[in-house]
């Protein structure tokens, strides 16, 4: 037998011995001592030690064969300290032929480890988190080969699951070991989709149950794995054939990518290899997933991170196939709160909507795929919750607070009842809004207001009926691109726009051309290198004009979809009149192209500009005559006016749009539009907030486009508002020297009994 190698390929016999040792009736410490002894023997190592992580984060030596016994429960390493700490921190194995010469080596005299040179450590991973470290050491300066590194990871995995399940150590010994957090905790993140929910955790990356780790029969497991892989591919193929249109027609590209990854040789080989070390098919999938996580976790490149994501997603699907469920048919409790590191474009849509009450994400951003879909489905969602997955177990009770951007893990009863009463108030209010659905939006003094909604995905269309919005004032076409893994083709763009127009029927829809670039990077779109200031970079129409092929393709899809009916299209981020001219010219070029081919054109074509760049404020006289309508994107207009990045939490709240400069700018645009008879609407987020929308009405705006959740509250405000009186009050407030007139505005609204 080679030095340090296992007697037979794969640690199957060893794993069996470990399980037998663990099942014994002797005290936990004796059993642990037996475990390290048999690992040392089997791996022909002079030392084998197990370190477990205490709640403090320290790694404590729990059992050793070869180091001094008196060091057990005495030697403790802080997170990141020494090689053991480094293994835990990086959640990846470390193999060294001469450990003492490594910069991370930390000498502990009480252990007597000076004579040992070779070091091989593997993390005890649970859900991608290190709960301990397994180490073998040899006196000689030897190199552990790939198989040994592989084997120790398998052993570490089995140990991790048995420690965590309480099989190895009793509850008493486990009390302070960080295997499964049990205290109430509050995590602060970012609200991605508003609303409140509570329920039980369902982990998107479901763990493999510990009793299901070791293979009874390796050949059977190999066959199970092979068949599951075939099943997985068949599932993806079936979805490729039948599932189009589900996600704005885009799951097709996503699934094509998954199909490609499912065929990935490296992935398939790692899975087979892991089964050969004695694991069940499920455990093999889990192990390979953990390795991928550890490897990719350090990558900064968003493209590489996305690839990790694809593999994670595939691993989850494969586990579901192995469990006998077809993907998307997982048995969920009716009050599920889905918890994931991040979610891919199609993931959320595959869960049964009525069972998912909320969504918690460790990563992501408000503009991420999952957040967009969550908002469209009106599922409360909080993201950017650091360490979330480490602090939760399947089945834990959690609260999703999409109002404050917080998550309460295992909340105390008083916290839960506080949230329940907030939810009651909310649902009462929602019912009130629903009653207003078919009531026209007319102010108390008879002013007709056009109230539209913002949308971006096919699933948003459901909201159109539910909210009673009179049309779509802003259809963000880039969402289709963002939830797609590759550039949506002409036919899928056309299909989506057609679906939108068909669903909207007689209700008008304003399509906004692609607003990508800057921080909305599409991995498949080769643009130039990363930009220093993405918000001020080559975004939206700038990219569209630089890549006219892209914009023309989109315009062609829009023109085709709207053949014989009205098409309203507007361009984002217009900063100069020339940009609008150039963009509009492309529309003409596409119309001429369609005409030459004898294609039917839209019955009515309206081309507009978004006012999002302050520069336009001083050139409206030149711009307005060229446009059929304009729409004010206040989210961007104010970020540029106040020089405060809207995506940066450090600065995004520093100014208040309810301030004289912001409101005066809006008033100016409104006045110029009225003078030239140019229809103008406001489609930024603030149009969906009653107080802000009230301010807009007092400035003379009569067209608003609000996020779906804002339509009801804004309509209620409209019905209660007497604008004639409010306008006089507002005129005075605009003269204020304060940075915010929010308080005064509230007072005014209350005095006039406006429902804000």
Active-site residues, by number, are 369, 683
What residues from 253 to 272 belong to the interface with ligand PEP (CB under 6 A)? none
The closest alpha carbon to 274, from 554, 9, 565, belongs to 9
Do residues 210 and 167 lie in contact, with contact meaning Cβ atoms separated by under 8 Å?
yes
Q: Whose Cβ is closer to ligand PEP: residue 49's or residue 681's?
A: 681
* Measured CA distances, 735 to 486, 663, 673, 732, 741 (Å): 51, 10, 22, 6, 10
CB of 459 to ligand PEP, least distance (A): 17
Q: Whose Cβ is closer to ligand PEP: residue 436's or residue 458's?
A: 458
CB of 511 to ligand PEP, least distance (A): 13
CB of 499 to ligand PEP, least distance (A): 20
The dihedral sign for the CA sequence 609, 615, 620, 625: negative
Q: Whose Cβ is closer to ligand PEP: residue 474's or residue 583's?
A: 474
Residues contacting residue 613 through CB under 8 Å, at least 6 positions apart? 573, 574, 575, 636, 637, 640
Q: Which does 310 bind (CB under 5 to 8 A by kind): Mg ion, ligand PEP, none?
A: none
* Strand, coil or helix: 199: strand
CB of 612 to Mg ion, least distance (A): 5
Do residues 741 and 655 lie in contact, with contact meaning Cβ atoms separated by under 8 Å?
no
Q: Cα–Cα distance between 423 and 444 in angstroms, integer?
A: 30
The C-alpha angle with vertex 273 and arms to 268 and 276, in degrees rounded to 5, equals 130
What residues from 601 to 640 belong to the interface with Mg ion (CB under 5 A)? 612, 633, 636
CB of 631 to ligand PEP, least distance (A): 8
What residues from 684 to 743 belong to the interface with ligand PEP (CB under 6 A)? 684
CA atoms within 13 A on the CB side of 560: 17
Q: Which of 348, 612, 666, 726 binds ligand PEP (CB under 6 A)?
A: 612
What 3 state SS string does 314-380 have? HHHHHHHHHCCCCCCCCCCCCCEEEEECCCCCCHHHHCCHHHEEEEEECCCCCCCHHHHHHHHHCCC
The C-alpha angle with vertex 350 and arms to 347 and 356, in degrees rounded to 5, equals 90
Q: Whose Cβ is closer to ligand PEP: residue 328's or residue 679's?
A: 679
Q: Which does 391 bind (CB under 5 to 8 A by kind): Mg ion, ligand PEP, none?
A: none
Interface size with Mg ion, residues (CB under 5 A): 3
Q: Does 517 bind ligand PEP (CB under 6 A)?
A: no
Q: Which of 360, 683, 718, 748 binds ligand PEP (CB under 6 A)?
A: 683
Region of 62-70, 630-638, 656-664, 712-720 interacting with ligand PEP (CB under 6 A): 630-638
What end-to-end distance do the CA atoms of the chain give, in Å? 79
Query: Going residue by residue from 558 to 597, which x/- string records binding to Mg ion, judged by CB under 5 A?
Result: ----------------------------------------
CB of 471 to ligand PEP, least distance (A): 15
Do residues 390 and 504 lie in contact, with contact meaning Cβ atoms separated by under 8 Å?
no
Q: Cα–Cα distance between 603 and 705 in angstroms, integer?
A: 24
For the chain, percent helix, then strand, then coil, each to nearest 5?
45, 15, 35
Q: Which of 203, 474, 624, 706 binds ligand PEP (CB under 6 A)?
A: 474
- Burial label for 166, CB within 10 Å (0-12, 13-18, 19+), is middle
Q: Whose Cβ is closer to ligand PEP: residue 221's or residue 478's?
A: 478
Residues contacting residue 525 through CB under 8 Å, at least 6 positions apart? 487, 516, 550
Q: Which of 90, 165, 212, 635 binds ligand PEP (CB under 6 A)?
A: 635
Q: Which of 350, 470, 636, 692 binds ligand PEP (CB under 6 A)?
A: 636
Q: Whose Cβ is closer to ligand PEP: residue 370's or residue 474's?
A: 474
* Strand, coil or helix: 153: helix
**Rounded (10°) angle between helices 708-720 and 690-698:** 50
Region of 226-234, 317-325, 371-379, 629-637 interacting with ligand PEP (CB under 6 A): 629-637
Q: Whose Cβ is closer to ligand PEP: residue 54's or residue 520's?
A: 520
Q: Whose Cβ is closer to ligand PEP: residue 34's or residue 453's?
A: 453
CB of 682 to ligand PEP, least distance (A): 8
Interface size with ligand PEP, residues (CB under 6 A): 10
CB of 633 to ligand PEP, least distance (A): 3
DSSP string, 697-725: HHTT--EEEE-HHHHHHHHHHHHH--HHH
Closest-by-Cβ residue to ligand PEP is 633
Order of strands, edge to edge, in the sheet holding 336-340? 185-188, 406-409, 397-401, 196-203, 336-340, 356-361, 381-383, 190-193
Q: Whose Cβ is closer to Mg ion: residue 367's or residue 397's?
A: 367
Q: Which does 683 bind (CB under 5 to 8 A by kind): Mg ion, ligand PEP, none?
A: ligand PEP
Q: Cα–Cα distance between 264 and 430 in angstroms, integer?
A: 48
118: Cα separation from own chain's centroid? 42
CB of 336 to ligand PEP, least distance (A): 30
**Rounded (10°) angle between helices 218-242 and 251-262:** 160
Note the residues at the interface with ligand PEP (CB under 6 A).
474, 476, 515, 612, 633-636, 683-684
Can you give the binding site for Mg ion, defined by CB under 5 A? 612, 633, 636
């Amino acid at each position: 037998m080679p030095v340090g190698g296992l007697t037979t390929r794969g640690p199957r016999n060893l794993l069996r011995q470990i399980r037998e040792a663990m099942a014994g009736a002797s005290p936990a410490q004796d059993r642990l001592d037996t475990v390290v002894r048999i690992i040392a023997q089997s791996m022909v190592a002079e030392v084998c030690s197990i370190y477990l992580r205490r709640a403090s984060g320290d790694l404590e030596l729990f059992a050793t064969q070869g180091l001094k016994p008196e060091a057990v429960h005495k030697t403790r390493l802080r997170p990141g300290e020494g090689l053991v700490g480094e293994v835990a921190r990086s959640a990846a194995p470390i193999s060294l032929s001469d450990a003492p010469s490594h910069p991370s080596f930390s000498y502990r005299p009480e252990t007597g480890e000076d004579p040992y040179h070779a070091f091989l450590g593997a993390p005890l991973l649970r859900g991608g988190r290190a709960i301990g470290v397994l180490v073998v050491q040899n006196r000689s300066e030897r190199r552990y080969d790939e198989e040994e590194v592989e084997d120790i990871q398998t052993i570490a995995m089995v140990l991790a699951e048995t420690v965590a399940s309480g099989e190895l150590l009793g509850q008493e010994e486990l009390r302070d070991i960080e295997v499964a957090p049990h205290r109430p905790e509050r995590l602060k993140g970012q609200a991605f989709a508003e609303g409140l929910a509570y329920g039980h955790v369902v982990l998107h990356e479901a763990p493999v149950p510990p009793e299901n780790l070791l293979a009874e029969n390796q050949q059977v497991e190999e066959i199970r794995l092979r068949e599951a892989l075939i099943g997985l591919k068949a599932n993806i193929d079936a979805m490729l054939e039948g599932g189009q249109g589900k996600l704005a027609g885009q799951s097709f590209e996503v699934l094509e990518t998954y199909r490609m990854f499912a065929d990935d040789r490296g992935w398939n080989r790692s899975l087979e290899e892991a089964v050969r070390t004695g694991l069940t098919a499920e455990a093999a999938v889990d192990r390979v997933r953990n390795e991928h996580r550890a490897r990719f976790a350090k990558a900064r490149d968003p493209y590489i991170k996305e690839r990790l994501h694809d593999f994670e997603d595939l691993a989850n699907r494969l586990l579901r196939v192995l469990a006998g469920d077809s993907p998307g048919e997982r048995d969920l409790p009716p009050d599920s709160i889905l918890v994931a590191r991040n979610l891919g474009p199609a993931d959320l849509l595959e869960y049964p909507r009525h069972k998912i009450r909320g969504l918690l994400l460790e990563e992501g951003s408000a503009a991420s795929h999952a957040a967009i879909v969550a908002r469209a489905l009106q599922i409360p969602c909080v993201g950017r919750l650091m360490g979330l997955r480490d602090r939760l177990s399947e089945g834990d009770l959690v609260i999703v607070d999409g109002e404050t951007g917080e998550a309460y893990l295992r909340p105390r009863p008083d916290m839960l009842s506080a949230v329940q009463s907030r939810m009651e108030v909310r649902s009462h209010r929602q019912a009130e809004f629903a009653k207003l659905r078919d009531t026209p939006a007319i102010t108390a003094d008879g002013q007709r207001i056009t109230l539209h909604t913002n949308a971006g995905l096919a699933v948003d269309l459901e909201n159109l009926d539910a909210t009673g919005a009179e049309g779509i004032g802003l259809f963000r076409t880039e969402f289709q691109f963002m939830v797609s893994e590759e550039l949506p083709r002409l036919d899928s763009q056309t299909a989506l726009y057609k679906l939108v127009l068909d669903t909207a029927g007689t209700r008008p829809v304003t399509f906004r051309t692609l607003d990508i670039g800057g921080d909305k990077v599409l991995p498949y779109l080769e643009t130039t290198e990363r930009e220093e200031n993405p918000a001020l970079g080559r975004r939206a129409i700038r990219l569209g004009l630089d890549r006219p092929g892209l914009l023309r393709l989109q315009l062609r899809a829009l023109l085709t979809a709207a053949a014989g009916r009205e098409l309203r299209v507007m361009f984002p981020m217009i900063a100069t009149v020339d940009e609008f001219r150039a963009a509009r010219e492309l529309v003409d070029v596409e119309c001429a192209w369609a005409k030459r081919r004898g294609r039917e054109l839209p019955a009515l074509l309206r081309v507009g500009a978004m006012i999002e760049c302050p520069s336009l404020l001083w050139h409206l006289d030149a711009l307005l005559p060229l446009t059929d309508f304009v729409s004010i994107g206040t989210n961007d207009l104010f970020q540029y006016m106040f020089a405060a990045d809207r995506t940066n939490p450090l600065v995004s709240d520093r100014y208040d749009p309810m301030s004289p400069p912001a409101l005066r700018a809006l008033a100016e645009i409104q006045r110029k539009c009225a003078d030239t008879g140019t229809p103008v609407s406001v489609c930024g987020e603030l149009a969906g907030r009653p107080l802000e929308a009230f301010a807009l009405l007092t400035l003379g705006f009569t067209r608003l486009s609000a996020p779906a959740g804002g339509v009801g509250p804004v309509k209620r405000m409209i019905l209660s508002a007497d604008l004639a009186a409010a306008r006089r009050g507002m005129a005075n407030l605009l003269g204020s020297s304060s940075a915010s007139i929010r308080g005064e505005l509230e007072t005014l609204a209350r005095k006039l009994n406006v429902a804000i």
